[in-house]
């Protein structure tokens, strides 16, 4: 499978971990904002990452891709069939992408991606706005994370992958999980990070992590 994007993106990492949990290998391909590669744009009409090409089937958006992959390659399921668990998995994925991510990416884009990677500058006012929004969500998460297991309880799901992936990206701008302040979230994150699929994706991300930390 071809996966367009860079691992720094929480959305791309989410798809990479979903694929790896299922034992599906992928080739990471360049693509993203500003790309004029017609193959990428055929997969991602909006020009965003991630996008995939699975044997000619082209799809964009991490949630759409994860939903497709989970149905097409159901072993193991990451979006449960049980209606209540399915609803919760979708909730956590949505929380990661549009709540935690929406605030956190204001910091990421304006302190790292814009000024350091794309060299187009950043808006510190927007970064500070993201920083002001974030505590509300991470404080709430600390009350919602279970002492053991996963966000759905016994069932590991797309929700765990999505929320953990957002935190991994936020760590690049100093907003990863702080164990001293949010120990339950930190313990849950450590359980996700200990999974072999997560570790394999983290190893693949290491070169970009090293590059960013040296900036
Ligand atoms: N809802 C989308 C969000 C994708 C997204 O916003 N990706 C960012 C990179 S982290 C992007 O490609 N941004 C470029 C743009 O918005 O033009 C998903 O889940 O895949």
For ligand 1, whether the C-beta of 32 sits within 6 Å is yes
Task: Compute CA 100 distance to the chain's CA centroid, rounded to the nearest angstrom.
Answer: 11
Whether the pLDDT of residue 215 is over 90: the answer is: no
Task: In whole angstroms, give the CA distance from residue 157 to residue 152.
Answer: 7
Judged against a pLDDT cut of 90, whether residue 34 lies above it is answered with no
Task: Tell the residue nearest (CA) to atom 19 of ligand 1.
Answer: 62
pLDDT above 90: residue 84: yes
Reported as a single tens digit per residue, the pLDDT across 170-208 is: 999 999 999 999 999 999 999 999 999 999 999 999 999
* Per-residue tokens: 182: 């949010």
For 139, how many CA atoms within 13 A lie in the half-sphere containing its CB? Answer: 5
Please write the tens of the pLDDT for every residue from 142-170.
Answer: 999 999 999 999 999 999 999 999 999 99
Task: Residue 19: name the closest of 203, 201, 206 by CA.
Answer: 201
d(CA 8, CA 57): 24
11 lines ligand 1 (CB under 6 A): yes
Amino acid 32: pLDDT: 85
Residue nearest to atom 16 of ligand 1 (CA): 48
- Report how far residue 5's alpha carbon sits from residue 201's, in angstroms, rounded to the nearest whole number: 14
Q: Considering just the CA atoms, what is the radius of gyration of the chain in Å?
A: 17
**Rounded mean pLDDT of 114-118?**
94
- Please state the rounded mean pLDDT for residues 128-153: 98
Q: Which domains does the chain have, with CATH numbers?
A: 2-72 (3.40.30.10), 83-213 (1.20.1050.10)
Which residue has its alpha carbon closest to ligand 1 atom 1? 61
pLDDT (0 to 100) of residue 33: 82
DSSP secondary structure of 158-193: HHHHHHHHHHHHHHTTT-S--TTT-HHHHHHHHHHH
Q: How do strand 27-29 and strand 57-60 relate by DSSP bridges?
A: unpaired
């Amino acid at each position: 499978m071809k996966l367009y994007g860079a691992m720094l993106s929480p959305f791309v990492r989410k798809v990479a971990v979903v694929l790896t949990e299922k034992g599906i290998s992928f080739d990471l391909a360049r693509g993203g904002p500003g790309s004029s590669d017609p193959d990428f744009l055929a997969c991602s009409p909006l020009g965003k990452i991630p996008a995939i090409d699975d044997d000619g089937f082209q799809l964009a958006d991490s949630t759409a891709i994860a939903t497709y992959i989970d149905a097409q390659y159901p072993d193991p399921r990451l979006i449960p069939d049980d209606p209540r668990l399915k609803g919760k998995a979708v909730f956590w994925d949505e929380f990661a992408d549009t709540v935690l991510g929406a605030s956190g990416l204001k910091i990421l884009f304006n302190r790292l991606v814009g000024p350091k990677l794309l060299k187009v500058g950043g808006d510190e006012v927007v970064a500070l706005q993201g920083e002001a929004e974030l505590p509300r969500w991470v404080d709430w998460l600390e009350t919602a994370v279970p002492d053991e297991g996963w966000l759905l309880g016994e069932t590991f799901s797309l929700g765990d992958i999505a929320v953990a992936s957002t935190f991994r990206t936020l760590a690049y701008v100093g907003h990863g999980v702080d164990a001293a302040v949010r120990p339950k979230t930190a313990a849950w994150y450590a359980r996700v990070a200990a999974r072999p699929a997560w570790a394999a994706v983290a190893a693949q991300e290491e070169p970009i992590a090293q590059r960013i930390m040296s900036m």
